[in-house]
Chains A and B, each alone.
Chain A
Amino acid sequence: MAKKALTWLTYLSVLAATYLVFMWVPNEKVMGPVQKIFYFHVAAAWVGFFAFLIVFLCGVAYLVTRAEKWDLYGASSAEIGVLFTTIVLITGPIWARPTWNAWWTWDPRLTTTLVLWFIYLAYLMVRTSFPEPEKRMRFSAIFGIIGFIDVPIVWFSIRWWRTIHPVVVDGSGFAMSSKMLTTLLVSLVAFTLLYLYLLTTRVAVARIDNQIQRIKEAVLR
């Protein structure tokens, strides 16, 4: 029941966000229609970071309780996090090319996102490297914790690294009209719901997967 409600809420909110972005919100004066990518870009970045926070929390919860479900949630969240971070890394350059006149700048936020992406690809590598379920769960929980602790240090070091160079766009210089803000908030909600929907679905798939494994082992024995 709850799952059904979540599905519908996700569907409707994503639909609403799409409508607002493409039909309702006015074009940005200088950048033009390309700026519309901003609403999905920021929302995807938020989901990406949020997903990795969940990986960290699930890692801690797994090491404390040793309950398999925390591993399932952590693993699913990491996969979705990598997916959304990839979306950020793809939409970013598409937006950057016409506005900054470069596909990529070594801006602190961009670079941190890239490093984050690499750290969680490594997390997925850890997961596939251990065939034994117990080791896989334990080691990926540990790596999820270590990786998350690294992120703030990455952020600070990259920010100081870049301060010597001109910053192309700074966060404060982005005044938004109320329509834009509404659209951004709606797409944030839509993407968060989408994340929750994907997470619960992925966990359900992983559960079935584990059951099949167990049945297979039982039959073969």
Chain B
Amino acid sequence: MSYYNQIRVLVWKDLASEFRSKEMLNSMLIFALLTTVIFSFAFDPEADTVKKVFPGVIWVALCFAGILGLNRSFQGEKSNDCFMGLLLCTPDPGVVYLGKLFSNLIFMLIIELISLPILFLLFDYRLQGSLGWLVLVIALGTWGFIAIGTFLSALAMNTKNSELLLPVILFPLLIPLLIAAVKATGLILGGGDFASWSNWLGIICSFDLIFTVVSWFLFDYVLEV
């Protein structure tokens, strides 16, 4: 099987098993919405200040929901020795990484597709910039989050309390991505022109590129038995 087909099979496997139970997607979605509701109690949604914190609210809600999914991503493979089966599927650990990356990315995009419109509704936020750019920045930001998150999730899987370890080791590394994503999202929402946030897009893209390549390369070492 070609490299591409191997990845496709693994992604399909993850999607099929998730859509049978929808356990993880449901809890991620509810968690994302819940975070938003808690935010709207914390910051009065009627006030003008909310316009300023709105990009931050989006990304915090997405990160919190995302970490639930990332925790499960490899943890779920531990029952019935599924992980051994996964390793036996392919001689190349990079395939496992890319497969998990794409399936996690798809889960996140589903969550975003549902929760972001609701977020805009709840905060009564009117988009001033272009929707296309907003979608691009959110997709690229999610990519970076998932690229490093999937990698660290595989690393944390090997310990008994991976749910405790993963957020502590993931969030410090995410800081540059979060800064860039929140800034770019804020500028686009406010109707800023491309030049005003292209810097931030540059940071997001380089973060995505660096951590996808480095993770893909180092994944061989993570999966060693």
Q: How far is the CA of A158 from the CA of B183 in the complex (A)?
A: 11
Q: Is the CB of A129 within 8 A of B218?
A: no
Residues of B within 8 Å of A143, CB to CB, are 155, 169
- 13 further contact pairs, Cβ within 8 A, besides A126-B165, A145-B218: A115-B172, A118-B172, A121-B172, A126-B155, A129-B161, A138-B224, A139-B155, A143-B169, A145-B214, A147-B173, A149-B214, A150-B173, A156-B176
Q: Which of A119, A130, A157 lies in contact with B180, CB distance below 8 A? A: A157
Residues of B within 8 Å of A153, CB to CB, are 176, 203, 206-207, 210
Residues of B within 8 Å of A147, CB to CB, are 172-173
Q: Is the CB of B165 within 8 A of A125?
A: yes
Residues of A within 8 Å of B215, CB to CB, are 146
Chain B CB within 10 A, most for which of A63, A115, A146, A161 = A146
Residues of A within 8 Å of B165, CB to CB, are 125-126, 129
Residues of A within 8 Å of B180, CB to CB, are 157
Q: Does B1 contact A (CB under 8 A)?
A: no
Residues of A within 8 Å of B148, CB to CB, are 146
Q: How far is the CA of A2 from the CA of B203 in the complex (A)?
A: 46
Q: Does B143 contact A (CB under 8 A)?
A: no
- The interface bits of chain A over 151-169 (1 if a CB of B lies within 8 angstroms of the residue's CB, else 0) are 0011011101100000000
Q: Does B50 contact A (CB under 8 A)?
A: no
Q: Which 9 A-B residue pairs are closest in the complex by CB-CB distance?
A: A157-B176, A118-B172, A122-B169, A129-B159, A153-B176, A119-B172, A157-B179, A154-B176, A150-B173
Interface residues of B in 144-158 (CB under 8 A from A): 148, 151-152, 155-156, 158
Chain B residue with Cβ nearest A119 = B172
Residues of B within 8 Å of A146, CB to CB, are 148, 151-152, 173, 211, 214-215, 218
Q: Does B131 contact A (CB under 8 A)?
A: no
Q: Is the CB of B222 within 8 A of A139?
A: yes
Interface residues of B in 183-225 (CB under 8 A from A): 183, 199-200, 203, 206-207, 210-211, 214-215, 218, 221-222, 224
Give A147 Cβ to nearest chain B Cβ, in Å. Answer: 7
Chain B residue with Cβ nearest A138 = B221
- If the complex has contacts A147-B173, A160-B200, are A122 and B168 also in contact, measured as CB distance less than 8 A? yes
Q: Does B88 contact A (CB under 8 A)?
A: no
